[in-house]
């Protein structure tokens, strides 16, 4: 007996107008007058968080099935186990076991495998030159959410028959699962989030306190502003328009993309971080990460980096007076056409590498790095050595 070859695609796409079955999973509302905290404990869950128009918390969770048998639907529904309770001033919600971490899931199976139609695949020529990007660029990227349609996705795939011949995949054989899960919250609630293998999009500005512990999860925010915020993110991805205040820890995160940061500390490890604009009083501590720092606000005042085995790419502040001071140990420093290399120190001590500007200037940048790379650029940075 041959084992069916299965392929899954998770992506954001628009709905198709076809017959389907829609199942209500969880619909509840809670008066938040006497509540101070909302706790979300999620596993394998796709959810959108929005602002409540009154003083209530709303949960609206449905799943739409297309080309699924009743037996398959029942199996999926039995795995979804949402539940909630109020304890003193805290509303707790838990959803585990669904493993539905996208708003739309495609799946299909074939006995003899799937192949790509090469004529449809184009490869972009690589470049080692990276240009400065504006803060607005990151705002636009973060607001984009359109994904591929089913037609666009399937055009590059072919099903293989028993004779090894390729043929187009019939969309009627593709199972489609659409998730719509919305939580609406009042602005005064503090949020405690624990998420694993999930996908969360916040479509509101948050000023209350956030404590977030996420693993293998995609997180997307608008504006976050609170000095007591505490984030601990491992794997997954993180996007936000504005981060103002708090402490953020990123460990092995594939993508950290933030349009603007200020008044905060970032602790990174094995992550790639892209920042559109650095604002006032920002400190970064990192191990073996990659950073792209594109712009600085007119009054950023102080910016400090303490790194080890990290790669730093920094575009000079524009249209302002600033002072840059760098220290290194076993570090390569690229400054225009000048390459400076600080050899290893037996005592692992840092040596002064470069100074730009007057120390009396109000905006200061200090970078301390060991076993790393620092690149500076005005309009672009060349990665080739």
Taking only the tens place, the pLDDT of each residue in 303-352 is 999 999 999 999 999 999 999 999 999 999 898 888 988 888 888 889 89
Residues 168 and 258 in one domain: no
Q: In this structure, is residue 127 part of a structural domain?
A: no
Residue 112 structural domain: 5-121+156-180
Residues 342 and 230 in one domain: yes
Q: What is the DSSP string of 280-313?
A: SSEEEEEES-EEEE--B-TT--EEEEEEES-EEE
Adjacent-strand bridge partners of 282: 264, 303
pLDDT tens-digit map of 209-234: 999 999 999 999 999 999 999 999 99
Residues 174 and 226 in one domain: no
Please indicate, yes or no, whether the overall pTM of this predicted structure exceeds 0.85: yes
Average pLDDT, the chain: 88
pLDDT tens-digit map of 233-276: 999 999 999 999 999 999 999 999 999 999 999 999 999 999 99
Q: Report the 10 Å Cβ neighbour count for 136.
A: 11
Q: In this structure, is residue 192 part of a structural domain?
A: no
Residues 46 and 167 in one domain: yes
Q: Report the 10 Å Cβ neighbour count for 47.
A: 24
Residues 261 and 296 in one domain: yes
What's the confidence (pLDDT) of residue 185? Answer: 98
Cα–Cα distance for residue pair 16/64, rounded to 1 Å = 11
Phi-psi region of 67 (alpha: psi -120 to 50; beta: other; left: phi over 0): left
What's the confidence (pLDDT) of residue 11? Answer: 37
**Total domains present in the chain:** 2
Q: In this structure, is residue 138 part of a structural domain?
A: no
More confident residue, 293 or 140: 293
Using 50, 70 and 90 to split pLDDT, how confident is the model at 155? low
Residues 174 and 213 in one domain: no
What's the confidence (pLDDT) of residue 112? Answer: 60
Residues 243 and 173 in one domain: no
Residues 228 and 267 in one domain: yes
Q: In this structure, is residue 131 part of a structural domain?
A: no
Strands 56-66 and 175-185: antiparallel
Q: In this structure, is residue 48 part of a structural domain?
A: yes
Residues 32 and 171 in one domain: yes
Q: In this structure, is residue 116 part of a structural domain?
A: yes
Q: In this structure, is residue 75 part of a structural domain?
A: yes
Residues 100 and 221 in one domain: no
Cα–Cα distance for residue pair 281/258, rounded to 1 Å = 16
Residues 93 and 176 in one domain: yes
Is residue 374 over pLDDT 80?
A: yes
Using 50, 70 and 90 to split pLDDT, how confident is the model at 153? low
What's the confidence (pLDDT) of residue 120? Answer: 41
Strands 37-43 and 90-95: parallel
Sequence-distant (≥ 6) Cβ neighbours of residue 110 within 8 angstroms: 4, 5, 159, 160
Is residue 175 over pLDDT 90?
A: no
Q: Which of 164, 180, 196 is the last residue of a domain?
A: 180
Cα 364 versus chain centre, distance? 29
Q: In this structure, is residue 128 part of a structural domain?
A: no
Residues 270 and 361 in one domain: yes
Maximum Cα–Cα distance across the chain:
78
């Amino acid at each position: 007996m041959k084992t069916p070859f299965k392929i899954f695609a998770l992506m954001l796409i628009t709905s198709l107008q076809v017959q389907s079955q829609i199942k209500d999973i969880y619909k509840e509302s809670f008066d938040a007058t006497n509540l101070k905290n909302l706790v979300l404990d999620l596993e394998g869950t796709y959810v959108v968080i929005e602002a409540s128009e009154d003083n209530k918390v709303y949960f609206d969770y449905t799943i739409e099935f297309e080309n699924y048998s009743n037996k398959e639907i029942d199996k999926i529904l039995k795995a979804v186990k949402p539940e909630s309770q109020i304890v003193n001033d805290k509303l707790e919600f838990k959803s585990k076991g669904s493993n539905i971490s996208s708003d739309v899931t495609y799946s299909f199976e074939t006995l003899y495998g799937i192949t790509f139609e090469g004529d449809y695949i184009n490869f972009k020529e690589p470049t080692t030159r990276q240009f400065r990007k504006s803060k607005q660029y990151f705002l636009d990227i973060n607001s984009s959410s359109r994904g591929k349609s089913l037609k666009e996705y399937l055009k590059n795939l072919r099903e293989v028959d028993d004779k090894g011949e390729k043929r187009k995949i019939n969309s009627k054989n593709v199972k489609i699962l659409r998730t719509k899960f919305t939580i609406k919250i009042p602005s005064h609630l503090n949020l405690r989030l624990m998420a694993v293998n999930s996908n969360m999009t916040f479509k509101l500005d948050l000023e209350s306190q956030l404590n977030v512990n996420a693993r293998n999860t995609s997180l997307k925010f608008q504006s976050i502003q609170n000095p007591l915020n505490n984030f601990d993110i491992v794997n997954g991805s993180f996007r936000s328009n504005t981060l103002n205040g708090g402490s953020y820890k990123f460990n092995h995160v594939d993508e950290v993309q933030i349009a603007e940061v200020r008044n905060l500390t970032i602790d990174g490890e094995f992550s790639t971080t892209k920042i559109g604009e650095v604002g006032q009083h920002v400190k970064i501590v990192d191990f073996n990460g990659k950073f792209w720092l594109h712009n600085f606000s007119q009054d950023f005042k102080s910016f400090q980096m303490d790194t080890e085995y990290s790669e730093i790419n920094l575009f000079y502040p524009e249209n302002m007076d600033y002072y840059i001071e760098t220290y290194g140990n076993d570090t390569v420093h690229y400054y225009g056409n000048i390459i400076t290399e600080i050899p290893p120190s037996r005592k692992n001590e840092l040596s002064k590498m470069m100074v730009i500007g007057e120390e009396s200037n109000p905006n200061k940048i200090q970078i301390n790095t060991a076993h790393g790379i620092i690149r500076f650029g005005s309009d672009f940075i060349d990665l080739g050595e």
